[in-house]
Structure 1
C-alpha cells in the first residue's frame, strides 16, 4: 500500500496495515507447515552457496598440544580454523566409560582454491596415555575441487583400547597441503551414544541382499538441497531433480528407522562441450553422526551419466561389528545425509551451467523397534529419524520402497494432515482479513473529502 500524504486518514491506514501483518506472519507459518516454504537456515558464511555452519555454533581455537586444549562438549557444535600445515588439539571429557563418543570434523576450504586429490584432513582420538583410539581421513579425491569433507573420530566403549572414563584428546591435521596455503574453516559436532539397556547382538550381520537394485523410477520433482549438514533438506523415496553450478555442494537427509535400507543414485545431465573431467559429480552418504558410509563419483564427457551408491544393508545396531566401513556406518537409526558436489573443473570444457542433476532415492525394509538404550544420546534425538516433510516424503507402509523411513506411518500421516489443515485454515483466515481490510479501505475512500 502506498504511503498516505494526508494526516486525517493516517490512523485508519495504519490500522489496515496492522491487520495485515499478523496475517502475513501466520501465512508464512502455515506455508512452512505445508512444505511450501523451505525452513530457514542460519549461516555465518558469505555468498549464496557457502557452507551453512550450524546456527549458534561456538568459535573455538585448537591448540598445538594437549596442554590447554579447549573442551568440546557433546551436543554442541563448534567452529574453528585449520591453517596450512596445521595440527590442532581439542579436549573431550568422558565421564561415562560405557558411552561411545563420536567427533565428526568437517573441513571447508575456500571456494576456487586449488586442491590435489590427496589433500584433506585426519582426525585422531587419543587417551590420556597418548594411545590412539581411532583415526580417520577425508580427502578431496579425483574431482580436484574444493568441497566440504568430513572425517569421524571416535572412542568406542567395550573395545580393548580406550575403555575408561577420563580426558581424551582430539587431534585434527591437514594432509599434504600441496594445493593451497589458505586456512580451512572447521565444524566440529561431538555426539555420545549410551550403552544398551540389555545385552545386544554381538555379531555382525552375516548376509543381506547385496544385489544391485533396480533404479527408482517415476516423475522427477524439484527439490533444492541445503548447503550444510544442519541445513540439509529432507528427501523421501522417489525421483528428485535439482540444478547445480560447478563448485557447488548440496546436502539432503533421508530419515531411516531400524530395519530400513537406503539406495540412491545420481545422474548428471548432458552438456555441450568437449573434454573429460574425472570426479565431475560426487555422491556421498553420511550416517547420523556424519560418519562416511559410501562415496562415489563419475567421470564426465558431456553425455548424461549416472552413478550409484553400493548396495547397503538395512540399519541395524550389529552393523558396527562389521569390518567394511560402509556397513559399520549403518549402526543407528536417524537422518542419513546424501551430499552432492559438482566439480568446479567442469566450467572449463563444459561451461558454467547450471547442470541438471537427478537424484533417485529408494527406501525399503520393514521398520522395527530399536535395541533399547540405557540412557539418552547427546544431543537428544540424534538417533531419531526426522518427521516427514509433506513436500518431500511420500507416505507408505514401509515395505515397498515408498515408505517414510520411520516406523509410525499413521502418526506421520496425522502430522502431515495437521500441517495441511493448519495451512488451509490460515489461508481462510487471511482471506477473511483481506476482505475486511478492503471493505475498510472502501469506507475510508468514501469518507475522503472532495477537493
Structure 2
C-alpha cells in the first residue's frame, strides 16, 4: 500500500505542475507550394541542369529543413489548360512522400496559372473542431518560369482570392525562375494583388534559397497562445478567469460601434492584477494601417472603470505587427469614486479598434497575472534609480534559430548564447528570456553592412531596425538614455551593433516614476523583439540578424514574501517558471465573490480534479505511513 501511495503521489505531482501556455493552433501557418511543370521547365537552369531537376532539389531542401510539425502541401500545374494536381495535401509532414512525388513530376505543355491558383485556394485545411481560427497565415508559394499561356487572368484571380471572406488571410508569394521581362511583370502583379512578395531566382541554387526562405516566412505566421475562451457582450455571465493566458476573437470593428468582450476575475485584498492584451494583424503591400484595441478593468457591480488604456501600433505595408496594451490594479489602492477600492469580482473589457473597419473578427491574446499581497515590502531593496553602465557583450558562435511571429510562444534563449535568424522587411520576431527576481537582461543585436544587391533591392528605400525588450505584461522596458530614434537605427554601408538592457527585476521598481524601471517590477518571460521595415513598400531582401543574450545578477535576490490565502501562487508560478505549491485546505482557491461563475481551466492553473486527487493522495499516504509504522513496531516487538 505504501508503494501504491507513492505511485499515486507521483501522478498527482505531475498534474499539479503548471503547464506552459499552449498555442491555440500549435503550427502557425500553412504553405502550399504551387510548382510550374510546364514544358519550359525542361530548359537549362543556368548551370547545365534542367529547371525541373533544380526544382526537385530545392523542394527536397525545403522539407529537410522544415520542422516536423510543419504543414506544407504541393500542387503542380502544367500540360493542358486544366491540368493541375494536388500531389501532397497539406497535413503532417511526410518528407519521403514529398520527395517521391516531386521526383515523379515530368514537364509538359502549357502554363495555366490562373486555373491553378483558383484550385489552390481550396487546398487549405480549416481548423479542426472549430474554435478560434485566428490570424493564421495561409501562403500560396507560386513558382513559375513563365507567364500564363492558357488565356486566364491570374492577376484578377489573385486579387479575388485576397478579397474573399476567409481567404483574406491567404497570401500569394511568387518566385520567378529565370523569367523574361514580360513574365516578370505579370508575376509581380500576381504577388502584389495577392498581398505577397515577388523575388527572382536565376539558377537552381538561388531557387533553393528563395524557396526555403519563403516557406519559413509562411510557417512563421501569427499563432495565438493560450486557452480558448469566449467573452460575453457585457459583464453578465462573463467567464471567470484564473491567472493564465487566453485566446478569444473580438467582433469586427464597425467604426463608431465598437462591440467588446468581457471577462471576470477575482481580486483578493491587497492583490494586484496585471492584464495584458495583444492583437495581431497583417497588411498587404501598399496598405499600411493603424490597428489597436481598447482595454479596461471594470469595478464590481458599479459603472465606470478602474483602469483603461488604448493600445495602437502602425501596421507596415506588407508586414505583421502587434498592438499591445496593459493595465494593472491593486485592491485597496484607492479610486475617485471608491468603486475600485474593495476586493471582489472585477471585469475586463476588450474592444476592437482600427482605422480601417473590417468585416472579419480579430484574434486577441489575453494574459492575467494576479499577484498576492507582499508582506515584507519595507524590507525589500528600493527601486532602481538608473540603468547604469552595461558591461560589453561578446558574441559567441551563433546557433541558427527561428524567432516567432507571436509574442507568447517565442523560442526560449539561454544565457550567454548567440543566435542568428534571417528577417525580411515587414517581419518581426520574438524571443523569450526568463528573468527571476534580482536578474537583469542585457542583449546585443548585430547586422551586416548592406551589399550592392541589397541596395538595389531597396530601390532607394531606407531600411530600419526596431528592437526592444518587452516585460511579461507587455510594456517596453528597454533602459538607458534613449531618444525617439535610438532603438530605430537606419541600416547602411557599415555593420550595425545595437545593445540594450533592463534594470534588475525588483518588487519596488513599481514605485519608480520612470517607465522602463517601473515596468521591470515582476518576474517572468521577457521578450526580445526585433523588427525590420522600410519607409516605403517592403521590398524583398534577406537580412541576417545575430542576437546575443546575457542574464546578470543573483536569481532570487530581493524576492518578496507573499500572503496568499487563496492559493494563487507567485507570479513566477503563474507563468510556469516554478511549480505551483501543493494545495492544502487553507490554500484551496475560492472566489472572493459569492456569485458562482464557471471558469475555464487556464494555462498554469490547478484544476479541481488535481486538488481532489491531491487530498485523496495525502490521506492515502498518511494511511500508508501509519500502516508501515505499525508493521515496524510489530516486527520490533
Which of the five TM-score ranges fits, normalised by the shorter chain? 0.5 to 0.7
Is 2:569 the counterpart of 1:377? yes
Cα distance in structure 1, aligned partners of 2:474 and 2:346 = 20
Choose from 293, 297, 300 the match for 2:488. Answer: 297
Q: Which has the higher contact order (CA 8 A, sep 6+)?
A: 1
Deviations 1:109-159 (CA, angstroms, capped at 9, x unpaired)? 13437344x542332222143343323343324956531232112222452
Cα distance in structure 2, aligned partners of 1:151 and 1:139 = 8
Higher helix share: 2
**1:148 corresponding residue in structure 2:** 322
Cα distance in structure 2, aligned partners of 1:344 and 1:183 = 28
Cα distance in structure 2, aligned partners of 1:179 and 1:343 = 24
Which moves more between the two structures, 291-300 or 153-162? 291-300
Partners of 2:247 and 2:363 within 8 A in 1: no
Deviations 1:384-419 (CA, angstroms, capped at 9, x unpaired)? 6489xxxxxxxxxxxxxxxxxxxxxxxxxxxxxxxx
Cα distance in structure 1, aligned partners of 2:357 and 2:531 = 19
**1:422 corresponding residue in structure 2:** none
Q: Secondary structure at the match of 1:326?
A: helix
Deviation at 1:314, TM superposition (A): 0.7
Cα distance in structure 2, aligned partners of 1:337 and 1:140 = 17
**2:523 corresponding residue in structure 1:** 333
Q: Secondary structure at the match of 2:293?
A: strand
Deviation at 1:281, TM superposition (A): 2.6
Is 2:389 the counterpart of 1:211? yes
Is 2:452 the counterpart of 1:282? no
Deviation at 1:338, TM superposition (A): 1.3
Cα distance in structure 2, aligned partners of 1:212 and 1:95 = 38
Choose from 362, 386, 402 the match for 2:550. Answer: 362
Cα distance in structure 2, aligned partners of 1:383 and 1:167 = 22
Is 2:541 the counterpart of 1:353? yes
TM-score, length basis structure 2: 0.48
**1:51 corresponding residue in structure 2:** 222
After superposition, where does 1:52-451 map in structure 2 within 5 Å? 52-54=223-225, 57-63=227-233, 65-67=234-236, 69-84=238-253, 85=255, 86-112=258-284, 114-116=287-289, 119-128=291-300, 129-141=302-314, 145-161=319-335, 162-175=340-353, 177-178=355-356, 183-201=361-379, 204-211=382-389, 213-235=391-413, 236-269=415-448, 270=450, 271-273=454-456, 274-277=459-462, 280-294=464-478, 296-301=487-492, 304-309=495-500, 311-343=501-533, 348=538, 351-369=539-557, 370-375=559-564, 376-377=568-569, 381-382=573-574, 385=577
Partners of 2:269 and 2:373 within 8 A in 1: no
Cα distance in structure 1, aligned partners of 2:395 and 2:223 = 31
Deviation at 1:361, TM superposition (A): 1.8
Cα distance in structure 2, aligned partners of 1:148 and 1:127 = 28
TM-score, length basis structure 1: 0.65
Cα distance in structure 1, aligned partners of 2:224 and 2:70 = 9
Deviations 1:227-246 (CA, angstroms, capped at 9, x unpaired)? 32342211122332111233
Partners of 1:200 and 1:371 within 8 A in 2: no
Q: Secondary structure at the match of 1:247?
A: coil
Cα distance in structure 2, aligned partners of 1:303 and 1:62 = 53
Mark the CA change 1:173 to 1:277 in structure 2 (over 3 Å): closer, same or farther. farther
**1:447 corresponding residue in structure 2:** none
Mark the CA change 1:105 to 1:199 in structure 2 (over 3 Å): closer, same or farther. same
Structure 2 unaligned spans of 5+: 1-65, 72-126, 128-132, 139-218, 480-486, 580-637
Cα distance in structure 2, aligned partners of 1:197 and 1:105 = 29
Kindly name which structure, 1 or 2, has the bigger radius of gyration based on alpha carbons.
2
Cα distance in structure 2, aligned partners of 1:176 and 1:229 = 20
Q: Secondary structure at the match of 1:293?
A: coil
Q: Secondary structure at the match of 2:306?
A: strand
Cα distance in structure 1, aligned partners of 2:461 and 2:397 = 30
Q: Secondary structure at the match of 1:298?
A: coil
Deviation at 1:170, TM superposition (A): 2.1
Partners of 1:237 and 1:363 within 8 A in 2: yes
Mark the CA change 1:300 to 1:195 in structure 2 (over 3 Å): closer, same or farther. same
Q: Secondary structure at the match of 2:477?
A: strand
Mark the CA change 1:95 to 1:239 in structure 2 (over 3 Å): closer, same or farther. closer
Q: Secondary structure at the match of 2:563?
A: coil
Mark the CA change 1:346 to 1:88 in structure 2 (over 3 Å): closer, same or farther. same
> Aligned pair count?
345
